[in-house]
Amino acid sequence: MTRVAVLDREKCKLKRCGQICLRFCPMVRSRVEAIRIESNEVLISEMLCSGCGICVKKCPFKAISIVNLPDELEKDCSYRFGSNAFKLFRLPLPSPGMVLGLLGQNGIGKSTALKILSGELKLNLGDFDNTLEWDQIIQHFRGSTLQEYFHRMSENRLRVVHKPQYIDKIPEVISGKVGDTLERVSQRAGLDDRAEELQLGEIWGRSLDVLSGGELQRVAIAVTLSREADVYLFDEPSSYLDVKQRLQAAKAIRRLKDDNKTVIVAEHDLAILDYLSDQICLFYGDPGVYGVVSHVHGVRNGINIYLQGYIPDENIMFRKEPIIFHEKPPTLSAEVGKTILKWDRIEKTYKGFKLTTTPGEIKRGEIIGMLGPNGIGKTTFLKILAGIEKADNTQELEELAVSYKPQYISAEYDGTVQELLISINKDTFSSSWYKTEILHPLKINQFIGRNVMELSGGELQKVAIAACLSRKADLLLLDEPSAYLDIEERLNAARTIRRVVEARNVTAFVVEHDVVTQDFIADRLVVFTGEPGVKGTANQPTSLRQGMNAFLKEMDVTFRRDSITRRPRVNKEGSKLDDFQKQIGEYYYTRTTGE
């Protein structure tokens, strides 16, 4: 385990101590600068610090502490895929009558843990060459809740239902109509209520192989909830769903705990994970190399620990800087205020659907978030702004250079990531600014030499975001940039978009279903109302607070701010705070809200 010194900058009084930490550091005396002073600020290098602790003892202000950095554990390996392959250490601890949330980066072992708990993967405890007997596995977990869990599994007395991550594979293994499938697998009462709650009525008679991603997701959740089991496992249940559908699915899943069921959910949407879970297990490590499961934490504390990047009970720091939210968006650039685009009433009609917009305008240097249910016209509006679709009333919009990232991206470029980005803007790609502000935050350097057609969904999404930001444009249009990304990647992408908008003094429209990400990035909001698939109205841009308040009021859901991280949190339905905020008409959050 690597140990390093960490500085608390609020406690540090550099000018008053005479640089004691620098004078006493043995690494500095050996001409290796583990501690250095720049612009009256102490900087401690994780790469060079030996963790000796001398600076901790000498610092008169107790501003320095020693923490552990993530590393593979010497024991507790639960599963290893092979020689030099991914290793998972420890497992989540399931509890009846509780919803346990799993939070961590992509490729860190969440899906592997769920497959182990579902019985799809049999534990090898790191010995990938040999098949272990159940007695060995049960003995390994003696004294923990997993001992009884695997004991029941070994005797086929544990019924487990698992909703997989990749729901697009479902039509390949199951055929038939939605209604027939649900009636065939249903073992629990309340199928009609679940179908209504998950909005399955309109697709009840349709075949599974013609459903969209969001429709397949809702069917997969309904199938899982309809089965009778002791343990229910959900891997990313919010993917492809809009905000309202996510909350409805979360309510349906959470009701399982009323029947004393064991529920485990891996999810990247922080607001939904917060609403769903009673407890949290964090996953940290090196994606694709190894993952470690943390001890169980309360849901609020667990999510805050993840955002702060430091686990106190294990003294592990897995991220250098905390992720911080603001009640108000960051201050915009000095030139904001100049109108870049105006539009009057826009109409666009398709067979069975019509989009109408109210007049509006946008200014330079701001990011406009777009919120609304699926099928309400958000993508259509973006395509009109991009010039891909023509409005019925042929309104002439101002000629602007536009860069568009579509909702559905495909790997059609035959070449490497580097070749693609160079082809878009060779001059920008070679600059240090581009490497610092786009390539590094999106971690594209990790796969920049790979062929585009070999990339995963998350890698392809990050390349599409980088490609959109690389083009010389006045208007950036990004349709669901957080799809396939984990929470850390989502917020890194949001920060990258904001820095590019401010540096170039351009404007961006961002369609996003993740309320936490939208809160993190948007300056103003365009809220879409209407009837999905029939008619939609794009209202004029309004402030983030007003837009969120109007949107959440329509969904009858209230949010509050966490008192530590300031992140948005969903209020439990019927709670005192939920009732109070609905009574005063503040659905987003109140400035007096405390924890």
The whole-number pLDDT of residue 397 equals: 65
What band does 594 get if pLDDT is binned at 50, 70 and 90?
A: very low
Q: Is the pLDDT of residue 49 over 50?
A: yes
Two structure tokens written together for 102: 């799993």
The whole-number pLDDT of residue 554 equals: 83
What are the pLDDT digits (tens) for 459-512? Answer: 999 999 999 999 999 999 999 999 889 888 998 999 999 999 999 999 999 999
The whole-number pLDDT of residue 430 equals: 86
Q: Is the pLDDT of residue 333 over 50?
A: no
Q: Which 8-state DSSP code applies to residue 513?
A: -
Two structure tokens written together for 576: 């005192």
Q: How many C-beta neighbours within 10 Å does residue 356 have?
A: 16
Q: Where does CATH 3.40.50.300 sit in the chain? A: 77-159+230-317, 339-542
77-159+230-317 placed in CATH 2.60.40.10: no
What band does 336 get if pLDDT is binned at 50, 70 and 90?
A: low
What band does 14 get if pLDDT is binned at 50, 70 and 90?
A: confident
Fold entry, domain 339-542: Rossmann fold (3.40.50)
The whole-number pLDDT of residue 414 equals: 86
Lowest mean pLDDT among 258-272, 462-476, 580-594: 580-594
Q: Is the pLDDT of residue 329 over 70?
A: no
pLDDT averaged over every residue in the chain: 88
Average pLDDT for residues 576-592, to the nearest whole number?
85
Q: Where does CATH 3.30.70.20 sit in the chain? A: 2-69
The whole-number pLDDT of residue 168 equals: 79
Residue whose tokens read 């975001």: 465
The whole-number pLDDT of residue 449 equals: 92
What are the pLDDT digits (tens) for 83-142? Answer: 888 999 999 999 999 999 999 999 899 999 999 999 999 999 998 888 889 999 999 999
Q: What is the pTM of this model?
A: 0.84
Residue 93: which of 311, 305, 294, 310 has the closest Cα? 294
Average pLDDT for residues 245-260, to the nearest whole number?
93
The whole-number pLDDT of residue 595 equals: 42
- Reported in sequence order, the residue ranges of 130-251 that DSSP labels E, i.e. its strands, are 160-163, 231-235
Q: What is the rounded end-to-end Cα distance, in angstroms, of the chain?
A: 35
Q: Which residues contact 485 (CB under 8 A, 6 or more apart)?
A: 106, 268, 458, 461, 462, 493
- β-bridge mates for residue 160, sequence order: 231
Higher pLDDT, 181 or 412: 181
Q: How many C-beta neighbours within 10 Å does residue 152 have?
A: 15
Average pLDDT for residues 427-447, to the nearest whole number?
91
Do residues 70 and 285 lie in contact, with contact meaning Cβ atoms separated by under 8 Å? yes
Fold entry, domain 2-69: Alpha-Beta Plaits (3.30.70)
The whole-number pLDDT of residue 542 equals: 93
The highest-confidence range among 10-14, 52-56, 441-445, by mean pLDDT, is 441-445
Mutual orientation of helices 243-254 and 544-555 as an angle, nearest 10°?
50
What band does 396 get if pLDDT is binned at 50, 70 and 90?
A: low
The whole-number pLDDT of residue 395 equals: 61
Provide the residue count of the chain: 595
Question: Please, what is the Cα angle at 134 between 132 and 136, to 5 degrees?
Answer: 65
